């Protein structure tokens, strides 16, 4: 029982569920790197021999410093280049291994065996699941309702799926299954629901065994909704008012420009007329002054003759 407790305290990727009689269950998701724990406690196992197997497959063999990654042969092709141990932890009795890029086919029962150390053997069950991939879409929309669909692909194991509105209320929905020939993943699951109010709607998928939740959301406007209709009415009013104001300003500017142009056209002929008449008037004035001077000179001459 002390060994079980020690293994349960190890920090690894994934979720460890400890069982009785030396049995440990590890849960992981596709694509993760996962550690399978195995330990004899505070004892140096560097010179020892330990063998990891999965059913009849050779996963990892360590023999006093020689292993599948540095010279030993016989590893199953499924695990080649993906499995390694922790050399710096051997002195503490730790024979754990890490499997990289976990796949669904890696699920199964593993054993960690010490043939030269009292034939001790420990069992680890690896359960691999796949996180759901969601796609949401609008199948149909009218002015008063919308039909939404949430598709769930490549989800394993079983899941719970639901449509949720903006208030957190789970909506009534209908499930459908899509035909599939995939041997690893179940058929795609489709969940459809009708909505009659404007809001943000979420599709939530929960995979309890993986302790994982996936969500996607979509915003839907329902035009018969009074809230939306009121908002649209306000927007239309603002747009129309803005257009009218801009039009009035343009009319005022054009009218001002037209008046200025007309005023300029009237002043231009008057100026030209005054400039063309001015030389004749000036000539007449000069002639009048000249005649006046001649008359004055004649008068002076006449007066002088009388005096003589």
Domains 2-129 and 133-224 share a fold: yes
pLDDT for residue 12:
40
CATH 3.50.50.60 describes domain 2-129: no
Architecture of domain 133-224: Sandwich (2.60)
Q: Report the C-alpha gap between 134 and 155 in whole angstroms.
A: 9
Q: Are 51 and 59 in contact (CB under 8 A)?
A: no
Residues in the chain with pLDDT < 70? 1-22, 179-186, 225-234, 265-308
pLDDT for residue 7:
44
pLDDT (tens digit per residue) in 128-139: 998 888 999 999
Secondary structure (3-state) at 252: helix
Structure token digits, residue 47:
């010179």
Which of these, 302, 301, 298, lies nearest to 290 by C-alpha position? 298
pTM of the predicted model, to two decimals? 0.59
Q: Are 187 and 176 in contact (CB under 8 A)?
A: no
What is the secondary structure of 236-294 as a DSSP string? Answer: HHHHHHHHHHHHHHHHHHHHHHHHHHHHHHHHHHHHHHHHHHHHHHHHHHHHHHHHHHH
Which of these, 11, 31, 9, 12, lies nearest to 128 by C-alpha position? 31
Q: Indicate the domain borders of the chain.
A: 2-129, 133-224, 234-265
């Amino acid at each position: 029982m002390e060994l079980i407790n020690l293994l349960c305290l190890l920090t690894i990727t994934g979720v460890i569920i400890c069982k009785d009689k030396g049995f440990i269950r590890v849960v992981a998701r596709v694509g993760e790197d996962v550690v399978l724990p195995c330990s004899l406690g505070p004892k140096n196992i560097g010179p020892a021999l330990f063998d990891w197997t999965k059913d009849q497959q050779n996963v990892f063999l360590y023999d006093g410093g020689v292993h599948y990654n540095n010279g030993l042969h016989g590893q199953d092709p499924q695990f080649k280049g993906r499995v390694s141990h922790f050399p710096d932890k051997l002195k503490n009795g730790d024979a754990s291994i890490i499997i990289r890029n976990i796949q669904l086919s890696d699920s199964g029962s593993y054993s960690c065996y010490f043939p030269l150390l009292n034939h001790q053997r420990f069992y680890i069950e690896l359960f691999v699941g796949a996180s759901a991939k969601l796609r949401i879409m609008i199948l149909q929309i009218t002015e008063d309702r919308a039909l939404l669909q949430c598709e769930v692909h490549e989800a394993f194991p079983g899941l719970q799926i639901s449509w949720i509105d903006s208030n957190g209320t789970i909506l009534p929905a209908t499930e459908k299954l899509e035909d599939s020939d995939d041997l690893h993943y179940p058929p795609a699951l489709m969940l459809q629901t009708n909505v009659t109010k404007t809001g943000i709607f979420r599709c939530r998928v929960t995979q309890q065994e993986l302790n994982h939740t996936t969500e996607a959301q979509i915003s839907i406007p329902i035009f018969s909704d009074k809230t939306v209709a009121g908002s649209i009415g306000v927007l239309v009013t603002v747009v129309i008012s803005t257009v009218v104001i801009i039009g009035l300003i343009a009319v005022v500017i054009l009218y001002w420009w037209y008046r200025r142009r007309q005023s300029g056209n009237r002043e231009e002929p008057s100026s030209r007329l005054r400039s063309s008449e001015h030389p004749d008037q000036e000539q007449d004035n000069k002639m009048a002054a000249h005649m006046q001077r001649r008359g004055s000179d004649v008068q002076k001459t006449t007066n002088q003759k009388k005096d003589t």
